[in-house]
Structure formats: C-alpha cells, structure tokens
C-alpha cells in the first residue's frame, strides 16, 4: 500500500476537488474520533476507509458511468486516480467467497435490459465499473433484480460493511453492502421469477462488456470493448 504522505497528497490535490467526494471525506478529515474508530474497527489506514466511505456516499456517481464508457466526457485523470485508490482500499477488506449476493439495477430501459440477459444465458459478461451488491434480498419493483454467486476462492467481492458501520451505521445494518472490484466477470446462468442469476468467474476474451445502455449495442460492439 502507499505511504501515508503520498496518499494524503493524492486525496488533497485530486479527489477533494470534486464535491461528492469532498462532502463525505470532509466529515472525516478533521474528526480524530472517527479516524481512530476506522483504524480500530476496520484495521486499515483511515484514509483508505475514507475513500471507501466517500465512494459509498455519492462518489460512485462521479466514476462508475465513466468506467462503463470510454466515450463519455469525463475528467479521466480524476476517474483513474479515484478508481486506483478505491481498488487499493477495498482489496484490504475481507473477501466474500462462496456466497449468494443480491443486486438491483435501475435502468430507463428496464425491460430491454431484462430481455438482453434472457437472450444471453450461458454467456459471460463483465462489469467494467465497481459493482455494489448486498447480503440482504431487497426486491424493488421498478428495478432489475439479480442473485449473484461469488467464487469459492479469490472472489473480487469485498465486505465494505465495517467501513459503513463506522461512517453510516444505520445504512450498514439495513443494506449490508458488498462491493465488487472493477472488471468482475460473471456467467449468466438463468432467469427465474424475474430474477437474473449470475455466477462469478474468470474473465475471458469472449466476455461481453456491460457498457452504459449495453442492451442497445450488438455483441460485436461489446466484444470490441473487451479489446480496448
């Protein structure tokens, strides 16, 4: 992991320039109690905990759409640094191996997305952004629902719950959030009762990259994204 001085400099000079990150991290940076609570409860540097907390608040909005599309107009330097530091942060957390997780996705094209998965049973798909899931089954009528089985070993799913237990205790209890690293790949197993079942697997060259509005693209375009 990085030296504290380098980590602090990147946060100060880059990440704190964006409001969503700054609003969350600002609640931590001058609060010695929460810093100590992070390090005692989570067991990693408080700065890494702060990065996770900022992402889970509203920071995800600043990077995930950009990670899903190389053609979206974004501050790519900011996105790359945030993504890199967030990855460094979550890989220090407990893996969630051999577990069934839940996810809901809100799409303008909800039925189109559902139909797309129905047509791609048996294929592998890769989420290029960080992917949030939960230990709890929380069905939402207007969203696509997923059940996701993690790998038996070396899953990319990480338990961010301890960070939220310090930063947002009520949310930690209700949501039990688990976060997948970028470029996690899944097999589309089946669809039952309007629930899409995925199983985490290794990425391969035939995996379809789930860009923004992936259901609007043909498979060759999504495969091309895998090569870029």
Domain boundaries, the chain: 4-90, 100-227
The confidence score (pLDDT) of residue 212 equals: 87
Crossing angle of helices 60-68/76-90, nearest 10°?
110
Whether 112 contacts 163, CB under 8 Å: no
Residue 102 structure tokens: 């839940």
The confidence score (pLDDT) of residue 141 equals: 76
Closest by CA position to 157, among listed 173, 135, 176, 178: 178
Q: Which residue has the higher pLDDT, 20 or 109?
A: 20
pLDDT single digits (tens) 136-192: 887 777 888 999 999 999 999 999 999 999 999 888 777 889 999 999 999 999 999
| Residues in the chain, overall count | 228
Mean of per-residue pLDDT scores for the chain: 92
pLDDT single digits (tens) 39-76: 999 999 999 999 999 999 999 999 999 999 888 899 99
Whether 51 contacts 89, CB under 8 Å: yes
pLDDT single digits (tens) 71-108: 889 999 999 999 999 999 999 999 999 999 999 988 76
**Burial letters 120-136, b for 16+ CB under 10 A, else e:** beeebbbbbbbbbbbbe
- Interstrand relation of 131-134 and 177-180 (parallel, antiparallel or unpaired): antiparallel
Determine whether domain 100-227 maps to CATH 3.90.176.10: yes
The pTM of this model reads 0.93
The confidence score (pLDDT) of residue 145 equals: 92
The confidence score (pLDDT) of residue 55 equals: 97
- The β-bridge partners of 191 are 196
pLDDT for 14 beyond 80: yes
pLDDT band at 24 (very low <50, low <70, confident <90, very high): very high
pLDDT single digits (tens) 192-220: 988 999 999 999 888 999 998 888 888 88
pLDDT for 227 beyond 70: no
The confidence score (pLDDT) of residue 165 equals: 95
Crossing angle of helices 46-54/76-90, nearest 10°?
120
């Amino acid at each position: 992991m990085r030296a504290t001085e380098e980590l602090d400099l990147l946060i100060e000079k880059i990440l704190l320039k964006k409001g969503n990150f700054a609003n969350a991290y600002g609640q931590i940076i001058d609060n010695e109690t929460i810093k100590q609570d992070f390090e005692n409860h989570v067991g990693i540097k408080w700065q890494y905990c702060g990065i996770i907390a900022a992402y889970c608040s509203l920071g995800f909005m600043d990077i995930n759409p950009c990670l899903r599309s190389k053609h979206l107009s974004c501050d790519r330097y900011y996105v790359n640094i945030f993504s890199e530091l967030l990855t460094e942060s979550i890989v220090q957390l407990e893996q969630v191996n051999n577990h069934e997780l839940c996810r809901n996705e809100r799409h303008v094209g909800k039925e189109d997305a559902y139909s797309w998965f129905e047509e791609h049973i048996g294929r592998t798909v890769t989420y290029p952004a960080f992917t949030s899931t939960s230990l709890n089954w929380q069905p939402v009528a207007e969203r696509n629902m997923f059940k996701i089985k993690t790998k038996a070993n070396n899953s990319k799913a990480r338990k961010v719950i301890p960070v939220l237990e310090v930063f947002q205790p009520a949310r930690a209890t209700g949501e039990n959030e688990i976060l997948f690293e970028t470029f996690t790949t899944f097999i589309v197993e089946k669809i039952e009762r309007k629930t899409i079942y995925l199983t985490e697997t290794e990425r391969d060259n035939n995996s379809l990259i789930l860009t923004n509005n992936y259901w609007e693209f043909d498979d060759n375009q999504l495969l091309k994204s895998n090569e870029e």
